[in-house]
């Protein structure tokens, strides 16, 4: 006898640029599941989801919670996850849709899946096209060329992190850098000066960096503004702005390891077979 609860959860991503970046399998979940619960900022994407879903709940109004005294974004995200779980517990097949990738900077999906699984419900995530995918395509950057580091701006500021100046460094959510209240959706020059000073411990203030914003609909232009690091505190930023810092130094060969690999290659090289 199967005692597994009847509710089911799948978290999908809509991509950054409306339905054109939606995978076929994610689209099938949106169309076929009992209810779609979405947290997407683009009004056109919300309208499209509403039209094709059997039932639709928008989570965007939950962001108003952070305006209440004593509540932060953590409380908002918790209520969003609880809203999703309420429908799962009601026995519905729930498709939770998030813009971009549902698992990247989307703690709601991780919380909802963990909660659902802990209660015995079937729950999983389908990958989506993220801001990083768009960044790589729009800027023509190959993370494999010299490696890549990726950190959230405030996390980088308040923790002791080691930067590799020979790799690409992607700093997410620079537009809310330094917010410890978890209530704001912007930042100030004073906060940006602090992160600039910390970055200047590794990079020259004249190092060229990129302010990147992915286009979210066909009529919007991708932003890829190049500025000097020293000008970051005075830059115009949005919540979605990403700071991209190209490598500042060339890769240095580890001659000791290279010699070991070369020696190993000679030892293990296959012998020529005489025929």
| Annotated catalytic residue within 29, 73, 203, 212 | 73
Whether 212 is catalytic is no
| Annotated catalytic residue within 17, 29, 46, 77 | 77
Whether 234 is catalytic is no
Phi/psi for 189 (5° steps) reads: -55, -35
End-to-end CA distance of the chain: 64
Q: Give the pairing of strands 242-245 and 168-172.
A: antiparallel
Continuous H helices in 67-188: 73-89, 107-118, 131-139, 143-146, 153-158
| 35-65 b/e (C-beta count within 10 Å ≥ 16 → b) | bbbbbbebeebbebbeeebeebbebeebeeb
Whether 159 is catalytic is no
> DSSP readout, 190-251?
HHHHHHHHHHTTTS-TT-EEEEEE---STTSPPEEEEEEGGGGGGS---TT-EEEE---S--
The residues that are catalytic are: 73, 77, 99
């Amino acid at each position: 006898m199967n005692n597994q609860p009847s509710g089911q959860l799948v978290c999908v991503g809509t991509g950054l640029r409306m339905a054109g970046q939606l995978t076929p399998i994610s689209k099938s979940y949106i169309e076929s599941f009992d209810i779609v619960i979405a947290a997407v900022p683009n009004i056109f994407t919300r309208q499209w989801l509403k039209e094709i879903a059997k039932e639709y709940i928008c989570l965007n109004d939950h962001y108003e919670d952070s305006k209440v005294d004593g509540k932060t974004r953590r409380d908002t995200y918790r209520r969003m996850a609880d809203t999703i779980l309420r429908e799962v517990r009601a026995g519905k097949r729930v498709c939770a849709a998030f813009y971009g990738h549902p698992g990247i900077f989307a703690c709601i999906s991780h919380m909802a899946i963990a909660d659902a699984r802990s209660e015995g419900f079937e729950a999983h995530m389908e990958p989506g096209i993220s801001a990083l995918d768009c960044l790589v395509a729009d800027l023509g950057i190959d993370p494999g060329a010299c490696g890549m580091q990726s950190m959230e701006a405030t996390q980088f500021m308040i923790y002791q992190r080691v930067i590799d100046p020979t790799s690409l460094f992607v700093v997410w959510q620079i537009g809310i850098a330094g917010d410890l209240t978890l209530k704001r959706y912007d930042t100030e020059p004073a906060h940006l000066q602090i992160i600039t000073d910390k970055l200047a411990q590794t990079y020259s203030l004249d190092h060229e960096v990129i302010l990147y914003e992915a286009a979210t609909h066909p009529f919007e232009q991708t932003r890829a503004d190049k500025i000097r690091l020293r000008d970051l505190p005075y830059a115009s930023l949005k919540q979605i702005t990403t700071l991209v810092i190209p490598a500042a130094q060339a890769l240095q060969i580890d001659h000791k390891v290279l010699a070991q690999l070369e020696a190993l290659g000679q030892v293990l090289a296959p012998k020529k077979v005489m025929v």
